[in-house]
Amino acid sequence: MISLKEKIGYALGDAAAGGITWKIMSIAFPLFFTNVFGLTIADTATLMLIARMFDVVTDPLMGSLADRTQSRWGTYRPWLIFGAVPLGLIFALLLYTPDFGPVGKRIYAYTLYLMMMAVYTAVNVPYGSLLGVMTDDDNVKNQFSSFRMVGAYAMGFVTLLSFPYLQKMVGGTEAHQYAVLGAGFGLLATVMTLACGLLTRERLKPVRAEKFSFRPFADLFKNKPWIYLTLIGICTNFFNGFRYAVAGYLLEYCLHGDVTVSGLIINYTVFMTFGEVTCMIFGGVSPAFTKWVGSKKKAFMIAALICMIFSICFFFVPMDPAYIWVMVALVILTSVGVGLYSPLLWSMYADVADYATEKNGTSSTGLIFSSGTMAQKFGTAISGSLVALFLGFSGFISGTDPDTGQTVITITNEESVRTMIWSLFSLFPAAIIVIMLYLIKLYPIKK
């Protein structure tokens, strides 16, 4: 019998990674780098692209390394226990704006961002793989996966809702606010990650290969379920990535800044918070919904259709603060679909890992789950990079004044920029869902 304490402990891992570090990196970093830190729009896009190429190598290597780890704490848990402090510390440093010129800032941002990607990989790949060795019961795996998503979205809700109020409380310049909040949230992420490593248990022993071999990497590309699921995972993160990366620009340039309704400050983090709490609720409902529908594949398709329909609807809402509650309603309805399919994705990775073990005779759980983390980072950051590129094409220019060190924003075509932002939040994600639906149809495991 798996205790509630262990399920909560497992949830804390993604509360830290998905609800704090990755959520802030997804929604705040594009706007932070261009409007606060002072990188050019081209530098911001290039930074995220380089980091993704870096992850293509480090994620699968980390998965293979995690699979071969043997210690008194188990196979995957030691990476959480000893990676907790570096995760929080580097995250905090990344939100600090040094008093450097354009070149110094560029070097600082590139170095810290790549370090953050590396340590995130070292913690999150083993964390995802942990699901494959805590239980062999498929229903319990779904429960763990559901707790994971609820933990991520619950913490994401707290993080995004509190962000503007904490900024106001800290005071000073925006750079000072981000630095202080980075330190606070970094400490919280460290504590949660460490708790996850200490409260969970590894009950199953991975079937290890005798020695290191490149065969597991080659076997992946013969594994059709893995290929389709990895592409699906990239699509889900493209969908979320576009919306989160552009939300700050949407409030700033389409709605002309924060919207205050009955004392509630709706900035870009609060705007997306409504989606977070919806995802949290429907992430918890997902196992029951899947059981009612009859299969993970069918449940995933229905959830994706919900996302597509309401994303398209958002495009036709007028760019006017008077319609803020219509926008919020569509964010909530879109997030119903996201909440339903998010737990399914990680549960399906566990199915693919079981399939690979049965087919190949040795465990590649860490390697397979690393592809889930790679898809998460690849989809989110490439979409963030594309947001920066498309904004640049439409007439948005940012940079640091070499004389004063101040961030300078120039918009050469306001109408073009506004339309691009609106489309990046609605039509671009909807197009991604169309691709995702085709891939889900081809996914061969019918559990």
Identify which has the larger pLDDT, 399 or 105.
105
The pLDDT tens digits for 229-266 are 888 988 988 898 889 888 888 998 999 877 877 777 78
pLDDT tier for residue 124 given thresholds of 50, 70 and 90: confident
Percentage, residues of the chain above pLDDT 90 = 34
Q: What is the mean pLDDT of the chain?
A: 84
pLDDT of 69 reads 81
User: Does pLDDT of 223 surpass 80?
Assistant: no
Kindly report the three-state secondary structure assignment for every residue of the chain.
CCCHHHHHHHHHHHHHHHHHHHHHHHHCHHHHHHHHHCCCHHHHHHHHHHHHHHHHHHHHHHHHHHHCCCCCCCCCHHHHHHHHHHHHHHHHHHCCCCCCCHHHHHHHHHHHHHHHHHHHHHHHHHHHHHHHHHCCCHHHHHHHHHHHHHHHHHHHHHHHHHHHHHHHHHCCCHHHHHHHHHHHHHHHHHHHHHHHHHHCCCCCCCCCCCCCCCHHHHHHCCCHHHHHHHHHHHHHHHHHHHHHHHHHHHHHHHCCCCEEECCEEECHHHHHHHHHHHHHHHHHHHHHHHHHHCCHHHHHHHHHHHHHHHHHHHHCCCCCHHHHHHHHHHHHHHHHHHHHHHHHHHHHHHHHHHHHHHHHCCCCHHHHHHHHHHHHHHHHHHHHHHHHHHHHHHCEEEEECCCCCCEEEEECCHHHHHHHHHHHHCHHHHHHHHHHHHHHHHCCCCC
The pLDDT tens digits for 394-416 are 988 876 667 666 667 788 899 99
pLDDT of 45 reads 78
The pLDDT tens digits for 285-303 are 888 898 898 888 899 999 9
pLDDT tier for residue 210 given thresholds of 50, 70 and 90: very low
Residue 166 CB neighbours (<10 A): 16
pLDDT of 406 reads 67
